[in-house]
Structure 1
Amino acid sequence: MTRAIMIQGTGSNVGKSLLVAGLARAFLRRGLSVAPFKPQNMSNNAAVTQDGGEIGRAQALQARAARRAPHTDMNPVLLKPEGTRGAQVIVQGHPVGSLKARDYTREKPRLLGAVLESFTRLSQTADLVLVEGAGSPAEINLRAGDIANMGFARAAGVPVILVGDIDRGGVIAQIVGTKAVIDPADAAMIRGFAVNKFRGDISLFTEGERAISDLTGWPSLGVVPWFEHAWRLPPEDVQDLTSVQREGGLHIVVPHLGMISNFDDLTPLGNEPDVTVEIVPAGQPLPAKADLILLAGSKSTIADLATLRRNGWDIDLAAHIRRKGRVLGICGGYQMLGRRIADPDGIEGPPGTVEGLGHLDVETVLRPRKRLGLTTAQHATWGTPVSGYEIHLGETTGTDCARGWLIVGDRREGAQSPDGRIQGTYLHGLFAEDAFRAAFLAELDTVSDLFYEKTVDHALDALASHLETWMDLDRLLALAAPSAQSKS
């Protein structure tokens, strides 16, 4: 009989995604087959699945923790913000259009059918389904038609564990306050609570833990200390995107653009012991000491190009190039490096054409059809194999494409300047390949002996052990209820 339990939070960024990943690995090690599920996610950091769709990257990491291939049923509704215009809506892996927030609210009851359909299918493949909520059930203004938290929990009959974040303070009010404001029928779905991100002596919170239980009637499943190795795992939320600073070594600089996406490309580089990855926030210049400036992916390339110029980063980039510095643009960053970006169909705003940064002799035309898929390639010079994924709108052509530095099948992918110092590619995930990353860093006089995939797997095992130590996983499993479908 398949069981399911849902991890909801008192707010965004309380650590739900990481907890589900750790629980998936912990229960897998106990001999259960586990599947992650998130009814609705809002993120521009997406992963491409083998069945040809896209889901939130957190669900891909959770699938990896459960040692199963990511599938579109794990995240049936993905919202990809598009600035102030609303969000692109991805249903069961494929875009169905863009909606403003008010219009999306009207669509949610219809989307619940797709959510429950995916949940039922997924339930047939596992012993335990770990469901992750979104935001907070205390956002009672969003309760009508909800499919992300209690709306799903009640429709699917899945019990809930509520998680609070003590690191931001006021965790007693977070958890007790949630019960105070939500509907009693919603509160009845909550079977226990946990406190996450504790720093210091946990015994000092014993009275606080007891107070929460007394005031809510819910049992505590544990107080979880801060997990020190979280930085080794690919982040999902843009607020988790932080610099990794080290003394000496290679210095990679990344401007933090407003619609930055698929920034997990940075995680393997940040794990390198001789590499500093510095994320530069708006309002600060790009440091002159950079060895490589990396322009990451973007959900709205034209808007982020304007942001880049507004911060004066285009001037800093040009100075870096004059100093013979290296530049790499990935996806949207690649498009920005060209001479111009045309948007004849008004995909990102009013139809028109904007001038690019002009550092690559290419130009991009945005097209409605998204290129989406897993890709294998090899470096045109080194012959080093690499695998990754493409997820973009737009076709890029021009003289520098003839010097494409990756080979995909019978075509050249990407572009580079005549001296090879400025490069662009649509391929995400290339730095997760150890041999490729080592060869790339060697050209920057940096030695790599990191086995990245093993590093991620070890971090997931450490996270599972962390939760085994600090949470009552036996009780959590006992609280899980039979799912809508038994495993067939």
Structure 2
Amino acid sequence: MAAIMLQGTGSDVGKSLLVAGLCRALANRGLRVMPFKPQNMSNNAAVTPEGGEIGRAQALQALAARVPLHTDMNPVLLKPQADRTSQLIVQGQVRGTLGSANFREGRRSLLPEVLESFARLQAACDMVVVEGSGSPAEINLREGDIANMGFARAAKVPVVLVGDIDRGGVIAAVVGTRAVLEPEDAAMIHGFIINKFRGDPALFADGYQAIADRSGWRGFGLVPWLGQAVALPSEDAVVLEKRRDSRSGRLLVACPILPRIANFDDLDPLKMEQDVEVVMVPPGSPIPVEAGLIVLPGSKASLADMQTMRQQGWDIDILAHHRRGGAILGICGGYQMLGHRLIDPAGLEGDVREVAGLGLLDVETEMGHRKMLREVRGSALGAGFTGYEMHMGRTQVGNGLQPFALFDDGTHDGAISPCGRVIGTYCHGLLGSTALRKALLLRLSVASQERDYAASVDRALDAIAQELEQHLDMDGLIALAKGGA
């Protein structure tokens, strides 16, 4: 069966976006295509229909391919929860933790399950588009690798190398990658793509040819800067400060960037609203006093992030905001931080066993081994919504609080303060539901444009696919995936 793998000269060169665009372009050609990433490291995850989790980048790529999410699309997911420790998710389920001491040996042992997932995808489609992680040029990580050349060689999948011209030095990045690779690894690479080009392509014609001449690899195209990507959710927290919204709106929404922030794309639907400005607040900056809504985002390590909240002085900003009559929305880990305390008796998140929360909701959270993973549908604030839960804590709600949401299965979620200005919920993705977003904004005296977030993402994927059809040798990539030269 056909397969091709995109690896990069470094992180954030645009591999995830290109894989999504290729998936949509191939699907538009009538092919059944599946995305695949052997190993991902991200605290942004999505829940699959069978109750597992994969990286949100692979969820977007599945959407681009117009196929249901499946845990086989990202068989190994590492979710950083401390500087040297990550939660290990294998084929959708928690397997334990990996630390710096056992990282290489631990991931090497996972290769059979990675290949097993890949084989199942291959059997179910016409073509698999694989995304590497980081760069094969990180040869210090080659031993035990399952994310780049370790996978490509084991699965016999041809590789195309992606270089980012926007960051500069792309000729050296591509040719230099060729220089540091072992001959057996370099033999897996059959060509290159230059990504994020701005300006007249003719100005880079000599550079493009120089890469081909010096690397011995074939060029598959020069991809322009894809402005449509602004409508898509981002995978990595490193882009948060780069995505400031510069519009002045009637409602300022502020979200602190916590060290272990997770699933921050929950806020993306608000960025479509004409009368809303979303500001991600970096460490060292106060939460703006003019904010009308503060959103406390998801977190992979709620106790540690609550401590950071205090170290940054953001707890003072939030409590002052509440006294001034401002609204606060806590999602997942942010919901837990709104309570009186968070306890971790088993030390699942680290050495700290208990921290005080903000005390804005009469709730307490205890961390446990059982992880809740499920898609949900229900109503809140008088509006219907869909979303998903992904958390390990259990929150006890005081008797005097009303739940935030009622699910269709009869269970409920979250809490609303007696004043109605503090909301906590475990539901991710709920702001993508037009009716729920409208209801929330109306509580804040802001009119929603009622734009369909899912439709805007879909339009962006189609536009990106059209760009790739125009600027890449799509027929050549398909031929390579099928075993051609």
TM-score by length of 1: 0.96
CA distance in 1, matches of 2:276, 2:424: 21
- Cα displacement (A) at 1:53: 0.4
CA distance in 2, matches of 1:161, 1:456: 26
Q: Which piece of structure 1 moves more, 296-305 or 265-274?
A: 265-274
Query: Structure 1 residue 413 and structure 2 residue 406: aligned?
Result: no
Q: Deviation per CA, 1:64-84: give whole Å up to 9, x if none.
A: 000011100000000001122
- Cα displacement (A) at 1:400: 6.4
CA distance in 1, matches of 2:376, 2:65: 23
Q: How does 1:19-38 map to 2 (within 5 A)?
A: 19-38=18-37
Query: Structure 1 residue 152 and structure 2 residue 134: aligned?
Result: no
The answer to whether the 8 Å contact 1:401/1:412 transfers is no
Q: Deviation per CA, 1:412-439: give whole Å up to 9, x if none.
A: 3101110110110000010111111111
The share of aligned pairs that are identical, in percent, is 56
Partner residue, 1:443: 443
Q: Deviation per CA, 1:382-417: give whole Å up to 9, x if none.
A: 1x2111110001111132673112112333310111
The answer to whether the 8 Å contact 1:4/1:159 transfers is yes
CA distance in 1, matches of 2:315, 2:280: 16
CA distance in 1, matches of 2:354, 2:88: 25
- Cα displacement (A) at 1:248: 2.3
Q: Deviation per CA, 1:116-137: give whole Å up to 9, x if none.
A: 0000000011111000000000
Q: Deviation per CA, 1:9-35: give whole Å up to 9, x if none.
A: 000100000000000000111111100
CA distance in 1, matches of 2:326, 2:108: 52
- Cα displacement (A) at 1:482: 5.3
**In structure 2, the residue corresponding to 1:5 is in which secondary structure?**
strand
Question: Quick one: which amino acid aligns to residue 30 of structure 1?
Answer: R
The answer to whether the 8 Å contact 2:303/2:354 transfers is no
- Cα displacement (A) at 1:375: 1.1
Aligned residues: 480
CA distance in 1, matches of 2:400, 2:373: 20
Partner residue, 1:183: 182
Structure 1 unmatched ranges of 5 or more: 484-488
Partner residue, 1:136: 135
Partner residue, 1:41: 40
CA distance in 1, matches of 2:358, 2:387: 26
The answer to whether the 8 Å contact 1:112/1:147 transfers is yes
Partner residue, 1:469: 470
CA distance in 1, matches of 2:400, 2:307: 24
CA distance in 2, matches of 1:30, 1:16: 21
Partner residue, 2:364: 363
The answer to whether the 8 Å contact 2:76/2:114 transfers is yes
Partner residue, 1:486: none
Query: Structure 1 residue 427 and structure 2 residue 427: aligned?
Result: yes
Partner residue, 2:259: 258
Partner residue, 2:315: 314
CA distance in 2, matches of 1:46, 1:29: 26
Q: Deviation per CA, 1:212-255: give whole Å up to 9, x if none.
A: 00001111111111111212101111112222221222210000
**In structure 2, the residue corresponding to 1:314 is in which secondary structure?**
helix
Question: Quick one: which amino acid aligns to residue 203 of structure 1?
Answer: A
Partner residue, 1:91: 90
1:435–1:222 CA distance, 2 compared to 1 (3 A): same
Structure 2 unmatched ranges of 5 or more: none
The answer to whether the 8 Å contact 1:400/1:417 transfers is no
CA distance in 1, matches of 2:192, 2:88: 31
Partner residue, 1:109: 108
CA distance in 2, matches of 1:88, 1:341: 19
- Cα displacement (A) at 1:322: 1.1
The answer to whether the 8 Å contact 1:362/1:401 transfers is no
Q: How does 1:46-61 map to 2 (within 5 A)?
A: 46-61=45-60
Q: How does 1:196-211 map to 2 (within 5 A)?
A: 196-211=195-210
